[in-house]
Amino acid sequence: MSPSRPRTFRTARWALAIAALTFGACGGDADDSAASLRVATTEMRFTPARLEMKASQDVRVIVDNRGDVDHTFSIDELDIHVKLNSGEREELTVNAAPASYEYVCRILDHAGLGMVGTLVVS
């Protein structure tokens, strides 16, 4: 019984050390990298249907197509048009002036069926 105790203790300390390293690395990345937003596409909506970001800085936007068919994430005013197959994920960088922009899906009449959202940049 007693020989196993120190080993367990050492393992626990090692796990803590790894956790500390991991958290440290994540914190550093978060400070350095651009802010990020996530939006998912399904039939027939964007989730969320409203995104907010700061103006004039690079913002990473991760678009996940969680639907069963193709969708797009399109913002005409910003010349953004990303097409995603079912299950696909795309990452883009958006840098925009203050305004409200509409994002829509350009597949068939998906926009008319509800695939519209608003990106508020301020």
Contacts with Cu ion by CB under 5 A lie at 71, 105, 107, 110, 115
Taking the complex as a whole, the smallest distance from the CB of residue 44 to Cu ion amounts, in Å, to 6
Q: Which is nearer to Cu ion, 58 or 68 (CB)?
A: 68
**To the nearest whole angstrom, how small is the minimum distance from the Cβ of residue 120 to Cu ion?**
21
70 exposed, middle or buried (CB, 10 Å; 0-12, 13-18, 19+)? middle
Sequence-ordered strand ranges (E) for 1-122: 35-42, 45-47, 50-53, 59-65, 71-75, 80-84, 89-94, 99-104, 116-121
Residues 6+ apart with CB under 8 A from 22: none
- Give me the least distance between CB of 60 and Cu ion, in Å please: 22
Would you say 50 or 54 has its CB closer to Cu ion? 50
Nearer to Cu ion, 95 or 111 (CB): 111
Residue placing its CB nearer to Cu ion in the complex, 58 or 109? 109
Q: Confirm if 101 and 116 have CB atoms less than 8 A apart.
A: no
User: Least distance in Å: CB of 26 to Cu ion?
Assistant: 33
